[in-house]
Structure 1
Amino acid sequence: MSASKNKNVLIYRLGSLGDTIMALPCFHKIKDSFPDADITLLTNKPVMAKAAAIEAILGTGYFFDRTINYPVGTRDWKVLLDLIKQIRALKIDTVVNITPVRSKKAILRDKLFFMAAGVKRLIGFDVLEEDINVVTDPQTGVNEWEAKRLARRIKVLGDIDLEAPQNWDMRLTPAETNAANTYFDLVAQGSPVLAISLGTKNQANDWGLINWQALLIQLSGILLNWKLIIIGAPDETVLADACLESWGREGINLCGKTTPRISAALLKRVSLFIGHDSGPLHLAACSGVPCVGIYSARNMPGQWFPRGKNNQLLYKLPECAGCGLETCIEKQKKCILSISVNNVQQAALKIINSGKPKISPVLYN
């Protein structure tokens, strides 16, 4: 197919930090497929205060030329009509849909919406059953990786090499890199650096401050020449201060002080990252850092694994695994709280002591 006739392209993508990182290879493929196009991104307004806007993750001026933001799930006909008018005014001829598929009814509704906006070419709207319901990947025995699911949606544009580093390049600017270096040099001074993030949008994914403090006390006694950097949202500052106190040595609390892109530039220079199944974990893995991921079992293993093969991903799978709960009251977070401080410490030391990157197994029960 020729991309030369497609001068005004719209990418339809919803999500926050982790979701956006998972879609990064698709953004690269779209950019490569329509190199001369004027590209608009239709996306959601951040659903909560601590969720980053997509421009803060992907930057501006490379993957797209502008964004149109709207409230997810709106049924306000005035809002929808205004969106249609904006799309028509931009003379969009092609829409590439890489937003998660909720149902066949939803995909049909989206298709009719874009047709009403005058769009002639629709890519990513012909979905398979596995695009709606996550299936087990026969090659891995776990749920299909989200990055792979998204890449399949736009296969008409060509195959995407999910192993290629260039497909995970966030196109950081020199200014962003310089800002990150300033923060890094405040603490590193030639020493290896451990980075952590306590952040998570969902209570079910939170390992708990007591566990984090115990972990840092242990690691501080082992990693004698290491420094600590903590990244996260502004509302995690107090928790991060408590973790720095437990670490007891050189470190810096950058919660609320760095954008996602400056954090990504910063993470390129650290030696190890530890975090929940949340956006910062995917940001670190995207930056090439080996990660220890502390996972709840609200989602089954596989779909939301971070990029990379030198990670240690900690899972416990009780009988209630796969519940999908954002808040766990009845089982009192049995899954994630069954992961011990020693489990995480051992996973971190396994990465540190490995001579070469290896494909790491998921650590189950």
Structure 2
Amino acid sequence: MAMAIQALTFLQEYFYESGHKIRKNDNALRIGVLSTAMINPAAILRPADSHGDVIISAIASRDLKQAQKAAKSYGIPQAFGSYEELLREPGIDAVYISLPNGMHAAWAAKALDAGKHVLLEKPFTANADEAKSLVALAKSKNLVLVEAFHWQWHPASHTVKALLASGKYGNILSTYARMTTPVGTMPKANIRWKYDLAGGSLMDMTYVVSSTRYFLDAGAPKEVVWAKARPAKEDSRVDEAMEAVLKFEVGSTGRVVESKVYTDMARENVAWVVPRIWELPSIEIETEKATIYYYNFMMPHLYHYIAITDKATGHTSYTKAYQGGPLWGTRGESWWSTYRWQLEAFVDKVRGKEPVHWVTLESSIAQMETLDAVYEKSGLGKRPGHQ
């Protein structure tokens, strides 16, 4: 139900973020937006309303009228009919890029070459080769570049990570991350189905790999044991669904943990008629002493729970975290979306402060190496880039 919870986030931010518009500081970070994608209001426009150090100063589209329409709707001062025009604007400090997957690398590189910091939507690039090239460029320019895995900045995610790190439940034995969308809810014209734009369920629902690696504190897997794709009927190069089992080396001793991931952009209904609306993105983590289940890790600001089942007693306890947590402390508000927490960290990083959490460039390379490896094992081959 990924699409549904995204829509709910639009509503949540409309009522909360926009309801807390605050005066902007004189030296606020000026951000430009490349594309007029549907995700923009949730991912950057609304979160910026409640951040005094952020001004959305421009938006660009290949269609000037589209850019002007978005600018008028959200009170953005400038609209451009090309991405190049926005990147040439000297008053813009950073850009948020929400273009199709296959275009991420090319336009992030152009933004970096133009001297802009970059908040780049997931997946980072179309493949690991592009990721490595982009990372090298960012480092050479000494500019901030980060993959927008917004959920990793939420207090609930930090709470789960702290539970695992505490040692109370022993070592992690296995994990299983799942993300699905009911059949028929994602139009076939959607860019997620386009091979030339690096589409596919694993690319779009890359959160299952991100969550697995985050909680294991791991890089790329030691091995992809097996991977099975269900190709789309319209284009067999695109995975409608993907299942895989991976082995990761974790900890200082290199223990091996087996992890399963499952993505599905056309999940079959129960008895052909009932959409699986309860299947929100979730991860189950089995440890030596307990099983920890993090429900709706992708959008925990809307609703989530962390269930801890003790193996010895069978007792299950529940906890939630909408504010504070082990990293943020007293900073932030309970109504902040994952994107708002992400924006807080992004501004800190650009300002030269140490953010409470960060998705490193090395992690983004490892993420793309993992996706490449799964696609190769499945027989579909890694995704192509696009200019």
TM-score range, shorter chain: 0.3 to 0.5
TM-score, normalised to structure 1, is 0.34
Bigger strand share: 2
Superposition TM-score, scaled by structure 2 size: 0.32
Higher relative contact order (CA 8 A, sep 6+): 2
